[in-house]
Amino acid sequence: MRYHDHGSYKTAKLKKPTEEEQSDWLITYADAMTLILGFFVLILSISIINQGKFEEVSEALNQGLLKKEQENQPLKDLNANLKYTLINHDIAPEAALELGDNYLKINLPGNVLFATGSAELGKDSTQLLADIAKNIQTFELPDYNIEIEGHTDNIPISTTRFPSNWELSSSRAISVLRVFLEQGIDGNKLKAIGYADTRPKVPNLDNTGNGIPANQQQNRRVEIKITRNF
């Protein structure tokens, strides 16, 4: 290397790096490797901890699901038995039964149980309800209540006995409840409610305000809901 100094040239000698300076990069490299190793050790340790936690959570979930399955088993067995009962009474079980996590609902068409504008059960409908009650009695359901709901369509009724659909729906629910009591079901587990036309399954009217007879027939029903207490 040369440089100009007032018109004269001088030669500058390059300084040879010392042995210590030559090894500086090794120290930096070693530090980087140590940091990387520490990072991977940390990741590994976290993974092991998470694996343990995962196994704990998984075990807890499995236990919870098993417990839930065991608690819901009586309803599943009852649902299976009721299918045959309904078939014997010419009722399609796929339309009448609804099994949930903590409940079983039995949907019975109003025309199967009662004559139009009546809350009196006939011989066949009484036998149907008695068979359903006997099925319920077959299974131990200590933590369940039975709610019987009466529902009507939107067509008003006004008679001496039933001034409105409220009285009609309530009376129908009570008629079903009486059959259950006669079959030995604990009255403390029973409840009868009339909803009139406030909870239709399907719309009673079309977009122009005209009645839909097929839908109105679906809405005239009694629902028996067996629900687990919490």
Strand partners, 107: 223
Q: Say what the pLDDT of residue 55 is.
A: 64
* Residue among 109, 137, 145 at smallest CA distance from 125: 109
Residues 119 and 172 sit within 8 Å (Cβ to Cβ): yes
* Higher pLDDT pick, 90 / 58: 90
Average pLDDT over residues 212-230: 94
Average pLDDT over residues 155-179: 97
* Residue among 130, 122, 127, 78 at smallest CA distance from 104: 78
Over residues 2-59, the pLDDT tens digits come to 444 445 445 555 555 555 555 566 667 777 788 888 777 777 766 655 566 656 655 6
Q: Say what the pLDDT of residue 27 is.
A: 67
Enumerate the domain spans of the chain.
19-62, 73-228
Tell me what percent of the residues of the chain surpass a pLDDT of 90.
Answer: 63
Looking at 10-14, 101-105, 177-181, 223-227, which range is the least confident one? 10-14
State both tokens at 119: 């809350």
Neighbouring residues of 215: CB distance < 8 A, sequence distance ≥ 6: 153, 200, 202, 203, 204
- Give the amino acid at 47: S
In this predicted structure, the answer to whether residue 100 has a pLDDT above a threshold of 80 is yes
- CATH class, domain 73-228, is alpha beta
The whole-angstrom separation of Cα 102 and Cα 68 is: 9
Average pLDDT over residues 183-211: 96
Average pLDDT over residues 138-149: 89
Helix (H, G, I), strand (E, B) or coil at 149: strand
Average pLDDT over residues 102-131: 96
The owner of tokens 């369509």 is 153
